[in-house]
A and B are shown apart, each in its own frame.
Chain A
Amino acid sequence: MRRIPYLVLALYALVGGLGPLLIEYDPVPTSLPDRLRPPGSDVSYGTAWLGTDALGRDVLAQVVYGARTSVIIGICTVALACLIGVAVGTAAGYFRGWLDTVLARGIDILLAFPAILLTIVIAGAFERSVLLVVTALSATAWISFARVTRGIALSLRERPWVDAARVLGVPRPAILVRHILPFTIGPVVALATLEFALVVLAEAGLSFLGIGLPNSAVSWGQTIANGKQYLETAWWISALPGIALSVLIVNIGILGDQLTARYGRGHLR
């Protein structure tokens, strides 16, 4: 049972990675005579196993390409957020003093601000692009990483081995990298999985609102939004990418919980 999330995630990675090599999809060409066909219909370009959307495009291809988009954006955002968050958090926690005061209060202020709102403001203010979505999502995602690592750094700096290193005259950046950072990896990885789920969901949300990815990109959020007005007549447009999204989120959530239980803060000692 514990392996299920891994299997599901591996499947998504496989579909997202290899699917685009097997299935061809370009959002530009439309095939109007094939519009709104139910799953399994024969259309002019083959069989639409998951049906077609309002412009006659294959939903299966959109789900597969959407998986790739989601995974890429998720990884990029989490990597960026992780980098910023861990750097800020460990620096604040280890150096204390005015640096900690400024950074910790800054984090508190950002935490008090509704994250999704800030993301929408950033994403809505500029021209739509993948880079913008990653930036907008990272703008709030790094905070959790900073909070977690700051807490760890705060407790670690009082440990004997850190004291010993300090007494031996090891430079402070080296202490940070060699004696503090390695201990943050466990909790950070656990947190990263949870953040990944949130980012994928938030990206779909932004695209659904029409302020996420450009129209030329394929995204689950856009596909779901496009099917919104056909929920009664052509449920497959919104429902199938929606299910793909939900299954991914649920499995990452379970995986995140497993990792938290194993490497979370409680197991540091």
Chain B
Amino acid sequence: MFRALRSRALTAMIILAPAALAGCTDASTGSGSGSGSGEITVAGTYPIESLDPHGPQGGGTGTQLAARELFSRLVRPKADGTLEGDLATAWKPDATATQWTFTLREGVKFSDGKAVTGADVAASFKRLIDNKGTNAANFPGYTMTATSDSEVVLKATKPDAAVPGKLATFYVVPASVATTDAAFFQKPVGSGPFTVEKFTPSQTLTLVPNKNYYAGAPKVTRVTIRKMPELAARLTALRTGEADVVWGIPDDQLGQMQSDSKLTVETVPSTAVFTMWFNSSTPALREAAVRRALWQAVDFQTIVKQLYPQTGGLADAPVSPITLGYVAQQPVTYDPNAAKAALTAAGFDFSKKLRLQFANAEFRQFNQAVVSDLAKIGVQVDLLEKEQAVFTKDLLALNWDINFQQLSNPTFDAANTLGRLYPCAAKRNGYCNPQLDQLLSAAGSSPDQAERVKLYGQASQIIWQDAVGMFPMAVKYAYAWNKRLEGFTPDPNGLPDFSTAQVRGS
């Protein structure tokens, strides 16, 4: 019987063992790459569960990453947030921005050799809407028709100036694909730079160049995207040469990567902003003065400088600098004494605990530091780290007082964050301001880009000054890749494109 007990002790020890093992692996003993001459291996953070960009998992990071290697879009964002044509060569709205006309590129072929036509584009759009995936919610009631083989028209139900940005997550598949077609997406046909060689859901995806790609087949001979959820495992794989590209590296590990002569390390500004909404429907946080005071009580400058010296910067707007609609705001200065005085003047109840919720352990330190600063002026906060599903459910139910999120924006357009999350009708943070609603709806429907930026700037000012939330940090993504890889460009949304990469000497 004691043997049985010992085996239980062993089981418990095994749980603690991976940490020790990860640390013991000697990075210097690994040599060369596991892959052949022109092949690269990518250590993926998120699992790729499906290759269907229109399906229920279409909005997931894994599927988005795969989709941009396999399929083409009408337009795609560049690293600085501006859009460039992919399948479309030109696009223009009508006077009210309700009808958008896209001219398609000539001579684009799918990987099976068939031409990409307007009918394929329109059918893909219909498929996206019919599947009711996460991305379909961007286009309520919108329709797309092919006016010719080389032109499609998108009709919106109301003026929508953000259409091109929203289409950055819309991928084109052949018209013949049914609404649900699991077999097709095991080895899909697309017009992107790569095609699938082998796909094992949530484990590995192996890509080979698409010889029919309109911009010329990629120079790498094979790309393997392998899921490695553990950070330590990803970094070790990178240093031993088992993996060639890793991204999303925390600051504390970045130094080690930078000191490795085999690796190139780069950070790139992303669309993500740390967003800490206050629940304005909670009686304690109803007044803007209270919310402003709480923001003032946290020394975000020190926190960001200490925890994110390389991948973070103090945010100066509710959206990131590479987002359309970014206008810098007056920074909030750290002043705990003024904060305490303002809270006392507003009759804030210091005996009541605020609930601060977040998901993902990577944000724990940041939130603990925030809680620590608030505790210094006597504001008690319960830090609640939740499972992603529970977090989302509570988020939508407004079951929190302060909510921490890293909000990124794949459309690079403030319509997707400001326009979607801050109107009264959205009911996302309990804040309601008719004046803000007006500004946001005007900004969302104006075909003039300069006008939109101005309007979003005014909206940002209201959000900033009324402290709908705290906006502590604009996020940069840190990428590290093996020096044998050339021509690799980091992507601001964490969805890099491997079509331009090349293995040195191959």
Contact = CB atoms under 8 A, between A and B. Distances in A.
Which 10 A-B residue pairings sit nearest by Cβ, starting from the closest? A231-B23, A32-B306, A30-B372, A205-B15, A228-B19, A201-B12, A205-B12, A116-B11, A202-B12, A29-B372
Interface stretch (A75-83, A87-95, A157-165, A207-215): A207-215
A198 B4 CA distance: 12
A114 interface: yes
Contacts of A228: 19, 22, 232
Nearest to A235: B23
B1 A197 contact: no
B432 interface: no
Contacts, number: 97
Interface size class of B (residues with CB under 8 A): 35 or more
B308 to A, nearest CB: 11
Interface in A210-269: 210, 215, 221, 224-225, 228-233, 235, 238, 242, 249, 260
A210 B361 contact: yes
B115 interface: no
Given A228-B232, A231-B22, A32 B369 contact: yes
Contacts of A144: 1, 5
A175 interface: no
Contact of B5 (A114, A198, A229, A233): A198
Interface of A: 28-30, 32-33, 35-36, 54-55, 111, 114-116, 144, 147-148, 194-195, 197-198, 201-202, 204-205, 208-210, 215, 221, 224-225, 228-233, 235, 238, 242, 249, 260
Interface in B415-439: none
B96 to A, nearest CB: 51
A33 B306 contact: yes
B15 A209 contact: yes
A228 B5 CA distance: 27
Contacts of B9: 197-198, 201, 249
Contact of A233 (B231, B256, B383): B256
Interface of B: 1-2, 4-5, 8-9, 11-13, 15-16, 19-20, 22-23, 231-232, 250, 252-253, 255-256, 302-303, 306-307, 361, 364-365, 368-369, 371-372, 375-376, 383, 385
B19 A231 contact: yes
A55 B367 CA distance: 11
Nearest to B387: A124
Give the secondary structure class of B's interface: helix
Given A144-B1, A205-B16, 18 more contacts: A28-B371, A30-B369, A33-B302, A35-B306, A111-B4, A115-B11, A116-B12, A147-B1, A205-B15, A210-B385, A215-B385, A221-B16, A224-B19, A228-B232, A229-B231, A229-B250, A233-B252, A233-B255
Given A29-B376, A208-B15, A215 B383 contact: yes
Contacts of A249: 9
Contacts of B303: 32
A158 to B, nearest CB: 21
A28 B372 contact: yes
A69 to B, nearest CB: 16
A210 B303 CA distance: 24
Contact of A198 (B12, B19, B307, B376): B12
Nearest to A210: B361
11 contacts: A30-B372, A32-B369, A55-B368, A111-B4, A116-B8, A201-B13, A215-B368, A215-B385, A231-B23, A233-B255, A235-B23
Contacts of A28: 368, 371-372, 375
Nearest to B376: A29
